[in-house]
């Protein structure tokens, strides 16, 4: 596959993400597939941030390992990123800000000094235009047509009228022309490949999926990396008819969502591990009252506040165990925005079908980074059934009626004659408490067990509804990767590299991490030779789950918990080690 990657680095507040997004959007409009990686810190100004826009004629599933163009806004960016450039690469910088000597750069990489400040001064004395010349130069070297860059910049300014747009167009053109006279287009540059693609983050895809699935209510408390779900839905609240409520805390957020759901509205909340920890009791209440709710848990590095702007898959145990006692739940684990869209739609359907909380496990790497999807991959025409499924029929209504599936007829407040109490205490079929004067009395001891059995029976239904592990690659490969969530992306890229090197592997990805169907999991593992579990956490939490649920144990592990996502080269190296030497 052909690929080219443009990286921009500088300090928080320099506009790095906006440079990166503009370049990424140029690529996606060229019809190329893109992965846009935004690396930032928990500061608003200063520090070091960088963005990599990686474009390819086949879909890149990760940030990749190297770049071809580096636009360095400060000296630190050269020091940190020059070694990440491939031969033939270019470092764009402004010599008025800092010098770059040839000895600062790896062999085969050249510097391109662009007078960005001088260009900016042509248009304005304000310091708002410094990046435009650099973006223009980067676009030239990356093979992006100037008219396309100008369209993207114009669109990104939106309705902001006036000089600022013209200045940016002028300055970026100057940078572009300067580069065309002083540098050449990178050999890896790609040409247009057809229709523009959609570029979105995992969180945007989750918001879109919620809207398509009929979500009418989101309550959320700000927490990185889940906040942009709320931002996207809030921006579309009126046009989509979705109430978006920023709650006073995560306790309120999930209880509001459960309340709205009880009232007959498809509802969601989203958070990261810290906020999810506060939601734990409510999750059980949704399970006990059999009220559907969708909870997005976008993980970041823990424990405690951890690394707020860095990724991890460390909350699986928490998601599995959240809540006192036992109740049915499912945990869906998309790995790419297109999967995040579909998983969110599915989460709403499962929550409604099984009247229980459903979790969507994301993480910072999926939630906040950009990837391209084709329009056809996002089917917004989702069938949304009516929630009114039971009518008064003259018989006594039993909200928690025993049924074969465990799912009972659900009335909604406002329906005459179907009044019931949704109780967080244990209750009988009618919803009457059996927690006080009845508890411990033999008849009600049996009733309690029967009601637990009824609720937990829904878990069998969720097992049947679970998407089975998906195998990618030939069945007889000597090595099988085992993974869930965003980690799957880097493995896909690593597999492509291994294939190119003549090393065949396959991948077992788990779009549903819980509940697992033990038979299917065992069958999938039975066909494997060596297995390599890849997870972004310390203890191999999914490996433990596989062992507990299905009795399968991956033979090798690659675990990472430094806050960074997996890079394909790390996975390639470990795979080669395992394949060559039989592991550690």
Partner 1 sequence: MAESKPAPLPASMGTPLPVVGKSSIRPTWCPGCGDFGVVAGVEMALKRLGIPSHNVVIVSGIGCSSNLPHFLSAYGFHGVHGRALPVAEGIRWGNHGLTVIGTGGDGDGFGIGVGHFVHSMRRNVDLTYVTMDNEIYGLTTGQASPTSTLGHRTKSTPTGVIENPIDPIALALASGATYVARGFSGDVKHLTDLVAGGIQHKGFSFVDVLSPCVTYNKINTFDFFRQRVYKLESAGHDPADIVKAWERSLEWGDKIPIGLFYRTDRPTYEDLEEVLSAGPLAQQRAGIVDRASLLDEFV
Window 259-298: residues binding partner 1 (CB under 8 A): 259-267, 281-282, 284-285, 289
- State in angstroms the smallest separation of the CB of 391 from partner 1: 7
- State in angstroms the smallest separation of the CB of 49 from partner 1: 23
Residue 251, interface with partner 1 (CB under 8 A)?
yes
- In angstroms, the CA 119 to CA 471 distance is 53
CB 536 within 8 A of CB 565: yes
- State in angstroms the smallest separation of the CB of 407 from partner 1: 19
Question: What is the C-alpha R_g of the chain?
Answer: 26
Residue 349, interface with partner 1 (CB under 8 A)?
no
Structure tokens that stand for 320 in this block: 């599995």
Q: Between 318 and 384, whose beta carbon lies closer to partner 1?
A: 384
- In angstroms, the CA 217 to CA 380 distance is 18
Residue 240, interface with partner 1 (CB under 8 A)?
yes
Site for partner 1 in 374-393 (CB under 8 A): 375, 378, 380-388, 391-392
List residues bridging with 199 in a β-sheet.
372
Residue 533, interface with partner 1 (CB under 8 A)?
no
Locate tokens 């089975």: which residue?
Answer: 468
By CB under 8 A, name the one of 15, 84, 196, 489 that touches partner 1. 196
Locate tokens 């990166």: which residue?
Answer: 20
Number of residues that bind partner 1 (CB under 8 A): 81
By CB under 8 A, name the one of 96, 163, 187, 248 that touches partner 1. 248
Residue 198, interface with partner 1 (CB under 8 A)?
yes
Structure tokens that stand for 79 in this block: 């020091």
By CB under 8 A, name the one of 243, 278, 456, 465 that touches partner 1. 243
Structure tokens that stand for 574 in this block: 């470990």
Determine phi and psi for 234, rounding to 5 degrees: -65, -40
Q: Between 189 and 251, whose beta carbon lies closer to partner 1?
A: 251
Structure tokens that stand for 210 in this block: 């919620």
Taking alpha carbons only, the member of 210, 443, 186 closest to residue 344 is 210
Angle formed at CA 547 by CA 545 and CA 549, multiple of 5 degrees = 65
Site for partner 1 in 217-236 (CB under 8 A): 217, 219, 236
Site for partner 1 in 394-453 (CB under 8 A): 412-425, 432-433, 436-437
CB 222 within 8 A of CB 276: no
Distances (CA, A) of 288 to 296, 359, 414, 417: 20, 16, 22, 23
Structure tokens that stand for 428 in this block: 């009988």
Residue 148, interface with partner 1 (CB under 8 A)?
no
Site for partner 1 in 350-379 (CB under 8 A): 375, 378
Site for partner 1 in 13-32 (CB under 8 A): 28-29
Residue 36, interface with partner 1 (CB under 8 A)?
no
Site for partner 1 in 54-73 (CB under 8 A): none
- State in angstroms the smallest separation of the CB of 346 from partner 1: 15
- State in angstroms the smallest separation of the CB of 171 from partner 1: 24
Residue 80 host element (H or E): helix 75-81
Q: Between 163 and 248, whose beta carbon lies closer to partner 1?
A: 248
Contacts of 175 (CB under 8 A, 6+ apart): 114, 116, 119, 132, 133, 134, 135, 136, 137, 140
């Amino acid at each position: 596959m052909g690929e080219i990657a443009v990286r921009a680095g500088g300090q928080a507040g320099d506009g790095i993400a906006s440079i990166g997004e503009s370049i990424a959007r140029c690529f996606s409009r060229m019809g190329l597939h893109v992965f846009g990686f935004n690396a930032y810190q928990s500061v608003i100004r200063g520090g070091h941030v960088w963005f990599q826009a990686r474009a390819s004629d086949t879909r890149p599933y990760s940030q990749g390992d190297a770049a071809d163009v580096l636009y360095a806004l400060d000296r630190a960016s050269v020091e940190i990123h020059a070694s990440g450039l491939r031969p033939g690469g270019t470092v764009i910088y402004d010599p008025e800000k800092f010098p770059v000597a040839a000895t600062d750069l790896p062999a085969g990489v050249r510097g391109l000094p662009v007078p960005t400040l001088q260009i900016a001064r042509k248009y304005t004395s304000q310091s708002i235009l410094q990046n435009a010349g650099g973006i223009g130069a980067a676009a030239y070297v990356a093979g992006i047509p100037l008219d396309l860059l100008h369209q993207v910049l114009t669109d990104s300014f939106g309705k902001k009228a006036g000089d600022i747009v013209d200045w940016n167009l002028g300055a970026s053109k100057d940078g572009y022309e300067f580069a065309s006279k002083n540098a050449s287009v990178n050999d890896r540059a790609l040409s247009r490949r057809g229709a523009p693609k959609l570029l979105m983050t995992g969180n945007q895809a989750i918001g879109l999926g919620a809207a398509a699935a009929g979500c009418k209510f989101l309550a959320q408390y700000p927490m990185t990396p889940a906040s942009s779900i709320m931002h996207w839905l809030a921006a579309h609240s009126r046009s989509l008819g979705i109430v978006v409520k920023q709650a006073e805390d995560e306790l309120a957020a999930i209880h509001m969502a459960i309340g709205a759901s009880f009232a007959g509205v498809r509802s969601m909340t989203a958070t990261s591990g810290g906020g999810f920890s506060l939601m734990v009791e409510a999750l059980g209440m949704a399970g006990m009252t059999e009220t559907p709710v969708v909870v997005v848990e976008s993980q970041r590095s823990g424990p405690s506040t951890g690394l707020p702007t860095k990724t991890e898959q460390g909350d699986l145990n928490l998601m599995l165990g959240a809540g006192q006692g036992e109740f049915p739940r499912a945990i869906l684990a998309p790995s790419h925005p297109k999967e995040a869209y579909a998983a969110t739609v599915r989460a709403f359907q499962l929550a409604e079908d099984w009247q229980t909380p459903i979790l969507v496990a994301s993480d910072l790497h999926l939630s906040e980074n950009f990837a391209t999807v084709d329009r056809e991959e996002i089917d917004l025409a989702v069938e949304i059934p009516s929630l009114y499924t039971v009518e008064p029929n003259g018989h006594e209504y039993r909200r928690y009626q025993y049924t074969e599936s465990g799912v009972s007829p659900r009335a909604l407040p406002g329906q005459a004659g179907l009044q019931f109490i949704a109780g967080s205490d244990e209750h009988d079929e009618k919803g009457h408490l059996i927690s006080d004067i009845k508890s411990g009395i033999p008849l009600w001891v049996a009733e309690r067990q029967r009601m637990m059995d009824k609720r937990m029976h829904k878990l069998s239904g969720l097992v049947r509804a679970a998407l089975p592990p998906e195998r990618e690659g030939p069945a007889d490969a000597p090595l099988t990767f085992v993974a869930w969530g965003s980690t799957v992306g880097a493995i896909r890229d690593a597999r492509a590299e291994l294939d190119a090197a003549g090393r065949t592997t396959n991948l077992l990805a788990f779009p549903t991490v819980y509940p697992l169907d033990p038979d299917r999991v065992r069958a999938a593992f039975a066909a494997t030779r060596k297995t390599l579990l890849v997870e972004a956490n310390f203890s191999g939490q999914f490996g433990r789950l596989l062992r507990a649920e299905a009795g399968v144990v991956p033979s090798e592990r690659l675990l990472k918990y430094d806050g960074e996502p997996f890079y394909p080269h790390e996975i390639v190296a470990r795979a080669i080690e395992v394949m060559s030497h039989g592991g550690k």
